[in-house]
Every structure is written in structure tokens, then in C-alpha cells.
């Protein structure tokens, strides 16, 4: 445990916000304060991280997916790279309302993106005028920014992983509404009352975000290795 706590200190995971910003639900994870900045009890953070990793590993081993989410500039690259490394779906940008609660409509948009992308790769857009192709390219770019991370999602995810549940309030609300458990790296200003696996830590520093995301990605990847082979998979978000 000492080594992982040292690593957390090195990435600044122990830094929260000022006491005036603290949400009451985070109080039990606070160790104290230094220069008016609250400090997390990293022994408790380690325990929370281990619980989340065990859950992520078991979830993957059962054949279910985690949807990785963050629209924070400091987290986008880490979320996209981490999720992609284990073939997990992700939203590394603005959350589209209804992604979980109106999945039928979102599925249509993903399918449209995949078809346009496929048609372009096959040269099937050559029949259109130059102006029409330009408009189609713009549509592909727009859909790619919004939905490219969801093309690997098989039905509903088994869990959400979010960085900063305060910022990703809509995504968290949708997940809780339909009973999807949430793993969240949450700073001291976040409401973690209804989050199944809260990891109380600095959710603003890039190094801290990368550390916790990588830990969950690694656990998820390990679990996938022992997942049962799927002969037939019904994909809600798939190429057609």
C-alpha cells in the first residue's frame, strides 16, 4: 500500500479544494487541510480504488463493458487512449443527452455515421457533386466528434467510469436512472452520495486523472482476458 500511496502523492491525488467548496458527502474522505486546501486521506482512496478495480475486472470477465466518460480538457486524451487500448466505448467530449436513456435515437446516429464512413472508404461518394461531397464530409466529421467512441458499444454498458461527476452530472444522472453503476474520480466538490464506486481524489490534475484512469483500464483489460468467448453478439452500436 505504501508504494501506491507514494505514487498518488507524486501525481497530486491528495489535493482537494478549499473547505468552502466541499460537498458534505465527501467529508469522510478528508484527512485535513493545508494552506486552506483540503487533503484527502489516501489510505481511504486506495481502498476505494481497489474496490473499483475489483468491480471493473469482474465486470469485464463477465463479458460486460465499461463506458469511459469525461468532457474535461485535462482528461479527454487519457479517456480516449485508455478506452481504445482495451476496445472499450468512450465519450471524450460533451455528453449527448439521452446517450443512455434514449439509446434508440443515439443508435440511429451511430449507424448513420458508420454507413457514411464506410461509403466514403469504398468510394461510393464519387457519384455526388463536389459540393455534395463537401457537405457529406462535414457531416461525417460532425458525427465522428460526437459518436466515434460509441461504435464499439454492445448494448447498454455494465458501468460508467467518469472523471469529475459534478461536470458529468447528466451522464451520471442517466446511468443512475436506469440502474447502471458508476465509478467516479471525484474531487471534494462532488456529490458522491449515489455513486457506487467513488474514488475521492484530485480530478483536475492531468497526472492524477491519468493515474486513476490507467488503473481502471488495466483492471478492465485483465478481466477481459478471462471473459467467455462470444459466438454471437447482438450489437446495438455496430457496423451495418
> Domain residues of the chain, as ranges?
2-100+156-225, 103-149
Specify which residues 37 forms β-bridges with: 18, 34
Q: So what's the pLDDT on residue 89? A: 97
Task: Report the CATH fold assignment for 103-149.
Answer: Helix Hairpins (1.10.287)
Query: Are 65 and 153 in contact, with CB atoms under 8 Å apart?
Result: yes
**Terminus-to-terminus CA distance in the chain, angstroms?**
47
Q: So what's the pLDDT on residue 182? A: 99
Torsions phi, psi for 183 (to 5 deg): -105, 130
Query: Which CATH architecture does the domain made up of 2-100+156-225 adopt?
Result: 3-Layer(aba) Sandwich (3.40)
118-131 b/e (C-beta count within 10 Å ≥ 16 → b): ebeeeeeeeeeeee
Distance separating alpha carbons of residues 207 and 201, to the nearest angstrom = 12
Q: So what's the pLDDT on residue 236? A: 44
Q: Dihedral sign for Cα 218, 193, 164, 17, please.
A: negative
Q: Judge if pTM exceeds 0.85.
A: yes
Residues in the chain: 240
Q: So what's the pLDDT on residue 158? A: 98
Distance separating alpha carbons of residues 93 and 142, to the nearest angstrom = 12
Task: Chunk the chain into consecutive blocks of 10 residues (it has 240) and report each block's average pLDDT, rounded to whole numbers.
Answer: 92 96 96 94 98 98 97 96 97 94 91 90 90 93 91 94 98 98 98 97 98 98 87 44
Amino acid at each position: 500500500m505504501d508504494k501506491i500511496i507514494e505514487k498518488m502523492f507524486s501525481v497530486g491525488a491528495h489535493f482537494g479544494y478549499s473547505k468552502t467548496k466541499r460537498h458534505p458527502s465527501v467529508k469522510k474522505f478528508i484527512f485535513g487541510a493545508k494552506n486552506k486546501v483540503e487533503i484527502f486521506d489516501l489510505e481511504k482512496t486506495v481502498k476505494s480504488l481497489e474496490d473499483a478495480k475489483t468491480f471493473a475486472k469482474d465486470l469485464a470477465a463477465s463479458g460486460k463493458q465499461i463506458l469511459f466518460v469525461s468532457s474535461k480538457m485535462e482528461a479527454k486524451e487519457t479517456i480516449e487512449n485508455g478506452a481504445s487500448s482495451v476496445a472499450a466505448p468512450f465519450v471524450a467530449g460533451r455528453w449527448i443527452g439521452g446517450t443512455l436513456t434514449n439509446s434508440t435515437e443515439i443508435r440511429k446516429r451511430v449507424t448513420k455515421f458508420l454507413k457514411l464512413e464506410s461509403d466514403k472508404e469504398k468510394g461510393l461518394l464519387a457519384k455526388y457533386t463536389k459540393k455534395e461531397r463537401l457537405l457529406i464530409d462535414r457531416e461525417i466529421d460532425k458525427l465522428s466528434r460526437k459518436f466515434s467512441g460509441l461504435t464499439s458499444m454492445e448494448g447498454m454498458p455494465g458501468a460508467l467510469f467518469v472523471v469529475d461527476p459534478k461536470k458529468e452530472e447528466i451522464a451520471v444522472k442517466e446511468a443512475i436512472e436506469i440502474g447502471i453503476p458508476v465509478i467516479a474520480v471525484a474531487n471534494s466538490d462532488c456529490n458522491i452520495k449515489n455513486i457506487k464506486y467513488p474514488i475521492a481524489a484530485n480530478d483536475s490534475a492531468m497526472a492524477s486523472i491519468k493515474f486513476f484512469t490507467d488503473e481502471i483500464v488495466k483492471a478492465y483489460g485483465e478481466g477481459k482476458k478471462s471473459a467467455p468467448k462470444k459466438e454471437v453478439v447482438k450489437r446495438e452500436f455496430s457496423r451495418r
